[in-house]
């Protein structure tokens, strides 16, 4: 467990919770990233706030890089696995109406049975796949 980073995890999680809460308090919307981003692309109605949300999402890490000078993170290797995983994540979050943010944070946060079940399933499958492959 030498990779355990509790402080940055708690601070980062607080930011995620605050961002999601702001969207609910001000716009009355669930901060589901897969739903907002896919509708920003494929749905004309209510597009502007969704595009603005995605723009914020894209720029956040650049801001962090400006503040924390030695901030860096790894990216995956390019290969068939990247394409298959991306497709599965897209299909699954669209069919399942949400991802870690929409179900895992907002859904569980409002005690939705659907979201609690969905989160348990994608966590369990994610653990299984990551542990086996």
Partner 1 sequence: MQIIIAFVAGLLMSIGIAVSMMIDPAKVLAFLDLSGNWDPSLALVMAAALAVYSVGFHLVRGKPAPLLAEKFQLPSVTKLDKPILIGAAVFGLGWGLVGYCPGPALAALSAGSPATLVFVLAMIAGWYLARRWPLPH
Total residues interacting with partner 1, rule: CB under 8 A: 107
57-116 binders of partner 1 (CB under 8 A): 57-64, 71, 73-79, 81-97, 99-101, 103-106, 108-114
d(CA 17, CA 83): 30
Neighbouring CB atoms inside 10 A of 24's CB total 14
Compose the 29-68 pattern: x for residues touching partner 1 by CB under 8 A, - for all others: xxx-xx--xx--xx-----xxx-xxxxxxxxxxxxx----
Copy the structure tokens of residue 63. 């801001």
87: its two tokens: 């497709």
Of residues 44 and 79, the one with the C-beta less far from partner 1: 79
In whole angstroms, the minimum distance from the beta carbon of 71 to partner 1 comes to 7
90 Cβ contact partners less than 8 Å away, ≥ 6 residues apart: 38
């Amino acid at each position: 467990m030498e990779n355990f980073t509790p402080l940055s995890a708690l601070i980062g999680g607080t930011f995620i919770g605050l961002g999601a809460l702001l969207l609910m308090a001000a716009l009355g919307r669930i901060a589901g990233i897969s739903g907002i981003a896919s509708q920003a692309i494929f749905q004309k109605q209510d597009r502007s706030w969704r595009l603005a949300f995605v723009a914020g999402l894209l720029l956040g890490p650049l801001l962090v890089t400006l503040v924390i000078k030695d901030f860096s993170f790894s990216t995956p290797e390019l290969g068939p696995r990247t394409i298959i995983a991306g497709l599965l994540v897209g299909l699954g979050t669209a069919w399942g109406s949400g991802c870690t943010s929409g179900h895992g944070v907002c859904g569980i946060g409002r005690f939705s049975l659907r979201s609690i079940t969905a989160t348990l399933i994608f966590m369990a499958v994610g653990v299984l796949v990551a542990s086996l492959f």
